[in-house]
């Protein structure tokens, strides 16, 4: 997990450095600022592949192509073999292979060749190019310089704020070249296959996810796993444990009053024989962390902030108490296989449309949460469920098979691993619990109570006057919006809307994003 800032036009040196260093948490292992004939590149490195100085960036080729990249290219060794005889590689870094492919074939062929999680910017002969991975796992933003209107790119908004106007997220699955943004991958355009035999579907899900985890175990730095005790993170840990020749390191988080998932995470850890760590936080620690958390996240969304609290605090522990630098997580599964509210999808077509929308928007919700919560503590996030081949396979499954026809959410995923002793049945077939709730129901109640103390009904009623865009509709959401505006005034458009269930569906006309308010929440937290 690295961070970069690239201005293609004029920028005052002191101001650039001041903003650039606001994202130093993304890469404490190396800092570089490179002046170009026109423009400036800055890079903060978190060393994961090739820990030596040879892996430092920017990478500069003999023909003076400049590259800064925040990412992991999982097929870099295969790609490298095609160029080893005609390109002078300076390092064993996975990202360096981007340059020879770009120089030989251009940016579109480059992006369709890469298998990984990445965001990068390239300068060649005074022209600038940029690209982002298909799902947006690695963050990237752009804006236009206040002085000359020329485009700038950065890993977080903080590095552009005050120096640019019209700051926006760089769209996933796109590249920038010749002044235009061009799509090269769109999850919404994946076609569904004809209905297949269920046993073949189970095997396909199994094989693609195992491969997605396997790729993400490749690191020269120590690897750990976030373990909530829910299905998704437990499966990632179970697969990794089978692939590893030593006990994996797992980390669970909960609150000090009713930590719902700690006991389930402990069951998984004991079953897998992992080196397990438990992190417990208090109401006071949550309140103390809240303002800083919103600044890290760069969002005002209710669900994102709630669910980031536990993730950020467990990552703080990992950074301070261990040598782990890479963290695997269970994000993206919900959007692919269905969440509690998708049980109410009125048809397979509507289920598929909802999945397409949610996966497409991950970069401003769950994926944003994972990146900021993890990178803010100088760790790297890897997301096996976001593997491009896995997403293409699962999105292609006939939607009628993915709907909750069995009465058991994520039935296909559970059945795909209902063999070979991956997990005990009490975990594999456990009811879904939302992560923001699973750290302990009391946490959300604490935050709501804090907002009740801070705001009157009159203040809430005037929220639309204060915030006409994405108007806060509860005191809690108003509290988050005020915190956000305190850090990022005028940038509310970075997030398109609140993450909420599809209110057009039966039983989904709710005023809180938590699955707890849905009639089918079940006993996941018991």
Q: How far is CA 399 from CA 33, 190, 310, 391, 501, in A?
A: 49, 12, 33, 14, 18
Q: Is 75 a catalytic residue?
A: no
Residue 26 appears among annotated catalytic residues: no
Kindly provide the b/e burial profile for residues 400-432, where b requires at least 16 CB atoms within 10 angstroms of the residue's own CB: ebbbbeeeebbbbbbbbbeeeebbbeebbebbb
Q: Which long-range contacts (CB under 8 A, 24 or more apart) does 197-201 make?
A: 198/401, 198/412, 198/415, 201/397, 201/401, 201/412, 201/416
Does 46 participate in catalysis according to the annotation? yes
Give CA 41 to chain center in angstroms.
24
Q: Among the options 26, 45, 306, 358, which is catalytic?
A: 306
Question: Which is catalytic among the residues 3, 42, 71, 440?
Answer: 71
Indicate the DSSP class of residue 134.
S
- How far apart CA 150 and CA 93 sit, in angstroms, is 30
Q: Please pick, among 8, 250, 303, 404, the residue that the annotation labels catalytic.
A: 303
- Active-site residue (options: 39, 46, 224, 362): 46
- Choice among 70, 299, 329, 404 that is catalytic: 70
Handedness of CA 309, 312, 317, 318 (dihedral sign): positive
CA angle 458, 459, 463 (to 5 degrees): 115
Per the CB < 8 A criterion, the answer to whether 503 and 518 are in contact is no
Q: Annotated catalytic, 303? A: yes
Helices and strands (H, E) in the chain, number of each type: 21, 17
| Interacting residues of 440 by C-beta distance below 8 A, sequence separation 6+ | 254, 255, 257, 258, 259, 260
Asked whether the bond before 58 is cis by omega within 30 degrees of 0, the reply is yes
Catalytic residue numbers, as ranges: 2, 46, 70-71, 303, 306
């Amino acid at each position: 997990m690295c961070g970069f800032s690239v201005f293609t036009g004029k920028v005052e040196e002191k101001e650039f450095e001041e903003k650039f260093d606001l994202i130093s948490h993304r890469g404490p292992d190396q800092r570089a600022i490179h002046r170009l004939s026109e423009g400036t590149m800055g890079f903060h490195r978190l060393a994961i592949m090739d820990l030596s100085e040879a892996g430092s960036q920017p990478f500069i080729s003999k023909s003076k192509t400049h590259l800064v990249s925040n990412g992991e290219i999982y097929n870099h060794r295969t790609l490298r073999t095609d160029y080893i005889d005609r390109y002078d590689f300076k390092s064993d870094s996975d990202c360096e292979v981007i340059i020879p492919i770009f120089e030989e074939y251009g940016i579109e062929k480059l992006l369709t060749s890469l298998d990984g999680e990445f965001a990068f910017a390239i300068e060649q002969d005074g022209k600038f190019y940029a690209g982002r991975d298909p799902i947006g796992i690695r963050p990237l933003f752009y804006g236009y310089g206040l002085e000359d209107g020329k485009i700038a790119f950065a890993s977080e908004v903080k590095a552009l704020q005050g120096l640019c106007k019209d700051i926006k997220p760089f769209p996933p699955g796109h590249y920038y070249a010749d002044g235009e943004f061009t799509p090269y991958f769109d999850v919404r355009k994946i076609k569904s296959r004809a209905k297949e035999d269920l046993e073949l579907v189970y095997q396909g899900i199994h094989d693609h996810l195992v491969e997605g985890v396997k790729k993400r175990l490749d690191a020269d730095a120590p690897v750990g796993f976030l373990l909530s005790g829910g299905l998704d993170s437990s499966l990632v840990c179970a697969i990794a444990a089978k692939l590893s020749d030593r006990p994996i390191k797992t980390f669970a988080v909960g609150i000090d009053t009713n930590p719902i998932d700690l006991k389930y995470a402990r069951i998984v850890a004991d079953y897998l024989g992992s080196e397990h760590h438990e992190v417990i936080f208090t109401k006071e620690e949550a309140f103390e962390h809240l303002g800083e958390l919103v600044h890290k996240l760069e969002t005002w969304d209710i669900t994102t902030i709630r669910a980031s609290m536990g993730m950020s605090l467990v990552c703080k522990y990992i950074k301070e108490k261990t040598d782990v630098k890479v963290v695997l997580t269970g994000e993206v599964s919900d959007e692919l296989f269905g969440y509690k509210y998708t049980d109410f999808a009125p048809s397979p077509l509507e289920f598929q449309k909802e999945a397409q929308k949610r996966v497409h928007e991950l970069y401003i919700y769950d994926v944003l949460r994972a990146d900021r919560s993890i990178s803010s503590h100088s760790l790297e996030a890897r997301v096996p469920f976001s593997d491009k081949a896995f997403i293409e396979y699962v999105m292609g499954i006939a939607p009628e098979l993915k709907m909750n026809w069995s009465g058991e959410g994520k039935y296909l995923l559970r059945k795909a691993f209902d063999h070979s002793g991956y997990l005990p049945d009490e975990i594999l077939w456990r009811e879904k619990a939302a992560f923001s709730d699973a750290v302990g129901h009391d946490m959300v109640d604490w935050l709501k109570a804090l907002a009740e103390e801070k705001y009157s009904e009159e203040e809430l009623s005037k929220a639309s006057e204060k915030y006409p865009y994405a108007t806060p509709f509860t005191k809690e959401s108003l509290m988050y919006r005020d915190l956000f505006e305190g850090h990022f005034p005028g940038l509310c458009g970075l997030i398109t809307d609140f993450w909420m269930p599809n209110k057009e569906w039966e039983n989904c006309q709710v005023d809180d994003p938590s699955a707890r308010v849905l009639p089918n929440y079940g006993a996941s937290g018991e």
